[in-house]
């Protein structure tokens, strides 16, 4: 076995030596090919790194409740009012602003949003979800004086970078928040485009 391996090494070495010292092989040209190949490999590695970072999965999600304390009502107002959800349960990606109540899309993609409203008996509740100021969907509750009401709605939207999503309380309506039944708003990126 050892003799066979030695014989194979000798043949391979002999063949290599013949190729390197052959008058048909330009060693300088071969070295230049290796140099340009190294440069090409570096460029490929840079391109691959860039593509991988661009295709990294972006995580965007938020879940918020209307009032920091979790108790109380908002309304009625004599004009439409942007609801500002102060109780932030999560804000992955930081796209929800708890000072303004506005979600701003950080990347182009398809998003899912859901909002929930709670209303006490004898009150009327109406809330709309807006994309860049245009109503996309709404929820309503017109309640008998002796019972409470809840409503929820959701929507899937394609957003561009910078598109803004918010919820608005209609004029002359109320919305109530309590710890057992948070009036809430949330959303997440389904997939980037």
In angstroms, the Cα distances linking 181 to 36, 98, 144 are 67, 20, 19
User: Could you tell me the pTM of the whole model?
Assistant: 0.69
What is residue 42's predicted lDDT score, i.e. its pLDDT? 82
Domain count, the chain: 1
User: Model confidence at 107, in pLDDT bands (50, 70, 90)?
Assistant: very high
179 in any annotated domain: yes
Higher pLDDT, 18 or 142: 142
Pair 103, 85: CB distance under 8 Å: no
117 in any annotated domain: yes
Q: What is the pLDDT of residues 57-68, one digit of tens each?
A: 689 999 998 887
Higher pLDDT, 70 or 168: 168
Q: What does the mean pLDDT of the chain come to?
A: 82
22 in any annotated domain: no
Higher pLDDT, 145 or 109: 109
Q: What is the CATH number of the domain that holds 87?
A: 2.60.120.40
111 in any annotated domain: yes
32 in any annotated domain: no
In SS3 terms, the chain reads as CHHHHHHHHHHHHHHHHHHHHCCCCCHHHHHHHHHHHHHHHHHHHHHHHHHHHHCCCCCCEEEEECCCCCCEEECCCCCCEECCCCEEEEEECCCEECCCCEEECCCCEEEEEEEEEEECCCCEEEEEEEECCEEEEEEEEECCCCCCEEEEEEEEEEECCCCEEEEEECCCCCEEEECCECCEEEEEEEEEC
- For 86, the domain range is 61-192
Q: What is the pLDDT of residues 12-65, one digit of tens each?
A: 455 545 555 555 667 777 767 767 777 877 887 887 777 666 555 689 999 998
């Amino acid at each position: 076995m050892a003799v066979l391996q030695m014989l194979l090494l000798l043949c391979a070495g002999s063949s290599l030596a013949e190729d390197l010292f052959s008058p048909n092989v330009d060693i300088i040209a071969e070295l230049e090919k290796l140099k340009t190949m190294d440069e090409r490999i570096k460029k490929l590695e840079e391109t691959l790194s860039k593509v991988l970072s661009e295709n990294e999965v972006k995580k965007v999600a938020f879940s918020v409740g209307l009032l920091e304390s979790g108790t109380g009502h908002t309304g009625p107002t004599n004009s439409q009012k942007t609801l500002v959800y102060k109780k932030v349960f999560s804000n992955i990606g930081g796209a929800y602003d708890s000072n303004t109540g506005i979600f701003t899309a950080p990347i182009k993609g398809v998003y899912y949003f859901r909002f929930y409203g709670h209303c006490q008996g004898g009150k009327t509740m109406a809330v709309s979800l807006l994309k860049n100021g245009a109503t996309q969907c709404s929820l309503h509750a017109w309640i008998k004086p002796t019972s409470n009401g809840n409503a929820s709605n959701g929507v899937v939207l394609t957003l561009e970078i910078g598109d803004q999503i918010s919820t608005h309380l209609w004029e002359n309506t109320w919305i109530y928040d309590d710890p057992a039944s948070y009036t809430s708003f949330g959303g997440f990126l389904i997939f980037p485009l």
